Structure 1
Amino acid sequence: MPEPDVAAHLAPVPPVALGAATVTAADLTGADLVGAELSAAQVEGSALDRLRAAGGSWRRTTLVDCRLDGADLANLRTADLALVRCSLREVRLTGAQLTGARLRAVRLEGAQASLSSWRGARLQHVVLTGCDLREADLSGAKLTDVWFEDCDLGGAQLDGARCERVRLSGCRLTGIGGVTGLRGAAVDADSGHDLLPLLAGALGIALVD
């Protein structure tokens, strides 16, 4: 997975500058957007490390070649969010509403994303490593060329999800809902062990000792 093409020379930009115009090569490190509303913002080739945007509302926001490592996006509400060639390492996404989001060539590593919603999202060429996705809602999501590695998906909802070239390795899958949403995914033996009782239940098979 390539790293975002963040500009070599960044200029500080006040958060209020994020509007309908495209912002490029911006240094938004540690910017305070807590509870803020963004509409039609487009940011390219910029650093948003340690951005604080908990409880905010982003509508029609597009981030291209951006780094959001260490950002706090807990309880963020989005509509028509697009992330292209972005990295999100050690981010907080707890309770974030990412319904219908579009992610392409994105890396999430060590993300805290329990109780987050990805309903109807489109993930393409996305790598998730060591992410906490407990009770996340991926209902109706379309996953293409996605790799989950060492992620906790306990209690996640996958009803109506569609998987194409999806791989799960070293993941916790206990108690997931809509297990048939993983149809077509490749699951390693350790992760697959969690699926046995769920698949049996979905097929009406009773497991006995």
Structure 2
Amino acid sequence: METLTIRDTTADLPVLDQEDLTDVSMLQPENGRLSLFNYSGKDLRTLELSGAQFYDGRISEVTAERMDVDQVRLSSVEFVGCDLATLTLSHSRLSRVRFANCRLLGARFDDLVLEDVVFQDCKIDYATLSGVTAKGPVVFVGCSLIETELDGCDLSGVAFEDCVLRATSFQAGTYRSADLRGNNLSVISGAVNLKRVVIDRYQLADLSLVLADELGITIAD
């Protein structure tokens, strides 16, 4: 099984063999389930998925002006090179899912359970993660999360690597053992909420300055 390892965190990736996948023209599950599929090269105004299960599939080079996904199960599915403007993904469970080179600007991730989920080289700027729970390994690597807000999430053990966290807002939530090594923390907000995270020694100075600013501490000469 192919995996992605960032320091102490190893996430299982989707197990897909292109020869086993069948090209489909629509993501329209029969009896609420779609498996062994390849959905590629679509330019859509709206894409809506609700109450369905998707297994062992690839969604690639899909552009959607609006995408609403609600109450779905995604297992061993990858999104590659997709532009999913104003994606709303809610009340769903994702396991062994990979987003690679995707634009998810302004996306909303609400009330999700994530296990072995990887965001790789994605633009997730101006997004909102609310009520997201990491039940297993979750990795953000090489991603941009400018002005993204994380609120009411349990991101215990989540790993961030080489991400742009400019004005990323870590609101109240659980971040126990979240691995923030390898990232610039000098421009985040919500440092006061980052209890029990893992950082490098050199990051301590930047995080201390952010924390002092949030607490209104004056550093006198």
TM-score for both structures, normalised by structure 2: 0.86
**Aligned partner letter, 1:119:** S
**Structure whose residues are more often strand by fraction:** 2
Per the TM alignment, residue 175 of structure 1 is displaced from its structure 2 partner at its CA by 3.7
Where 2:148 maps in the other structure, the secondary structure is: coil
Structure 1 stretch 173-182 or stretch 124-133: which is displaced more? 173-182
- The alignment status of 1:94 with 2:117, answered yes or no, reads no
Q: Is the 8 A contact 1:179 1:199 kept in 2?
A: yes
Q: Is the 8 A contact 1:20 1:40 kept in 2?
A: no
Where 1:171 maps in the other structure, the secondary structure is: coil
Aligned length: 209
Q: Is the 8 A contact 2:186 2:209 kept in 1?
A: no
Structure 1 stretch 184-193 or stretch 108-117: which is displaced more? 184-193
**Partner residue, 2:14:** 4
- The alignment status of 1:59 with 2:70, answered yes or no, reads yes
d(CA) in 2 for partners of 1:191 and 1:88? 28
Per the TM alignment, residue 2 of structure 1 is displaced from its structure 2 partner at its CA by 2.3
d(CA) in 1 for partners of 2:217 and 2:31? 55
**Partner residue, 1:150:** 162
d(CA) in 2 for partners of 1:180 and 1:69? 35
Q: Is the 8 A contact 1:110 1:129 kept in 2?
A: yes
**Structure 2 unmatched runs, 5+:** 1-10
Sort the Cα spacing of 1:132 and 1:16 in 2 relative to 1 into closer, same or farther, 3 A. closer
For 1:111, which of 110, 119, 122 is the aligned residue? Answer: 122
d(CA) in 1 for partners of 2:124 and 2:142? 11
**Equivalences for 1:1-209 in 2 at 5 Å?**
1-7=11-17, 8-18=19-29, 21-123=32-134, 124-209=136-221
Per the TM alignment, residue 60 of structure 1 is displaced from its structure 2 partner at its CA by 0.9
d(CA) in 1 for partners of 2:125 and 2:168? 9
d(CA) in 1 for partners of 2:104 and 2:56? 22
Sort the Cα spacing of 1:132 and 1:203 in 2 relative to 1 into closer, same or farther, 3 A. same
Q: Is the 8 A contact 2:27 2:39 kept in 1?
A: no
d(CA) in 1 for partners of 2:111 and 2:44? 22
Sort the Cα spacing of 1:54 and 1:189 in 2 relative to 1 into closer, same or farther, 3 A. farther
Q: Is the 8 A contact 2:126 2:148 kept in 1?
A: yes
Sort the Cα spacing of 1:130 and 1:191 in 2 relative to 1 into closer, same or farther, 3 A. farther
**Aligned partner letter, 1:53:** A
TM-score for both structures, normalised by structure 1: 0.90
d(CA) in 1 for partners of 2:86 and 2:104? 7
Sort the Cα spacing of 1:188 and 1:19 in 2 relative to 1 into closer, same or farther, 3 A. farther
Q: Deviations over 1:131-174 (max 9, x none)?
A: 10111110111112211011111211212121122111221223
Where 1:48 maps in the other structure, the secondary structure is: strand
Where 1:6 maps in the other structure, the secondary structure is: coil
Where 1:196 maps in the other structure, the secondary structure is: helix
Structure 1 stretch 127-136 or stretch 3-12: which is displaced more? 3-12
Sort the Cα spacing of 1:190 and 1:91 in 2 relative to 1 into closer, same or farther, 3 A. farther
Q: Deviations over 1:36-55 (max 9, x none)?
A: 22211211000112232342
Structure 1 stretch 138-147 or stretch 192-201: which is displaced more? 192-201
**Structure 1 unmatched runs, 5+:** none
Sort the Cα spacing of 1:20 and 1:72 in 2 relative to 1 into closer, same or farther, 3 A. farther
Per the TM alignment, residue 10 of structure 1 is displaced from its structure 2 partner at its CA by 0.7
Identity percentage over the alignment? 27
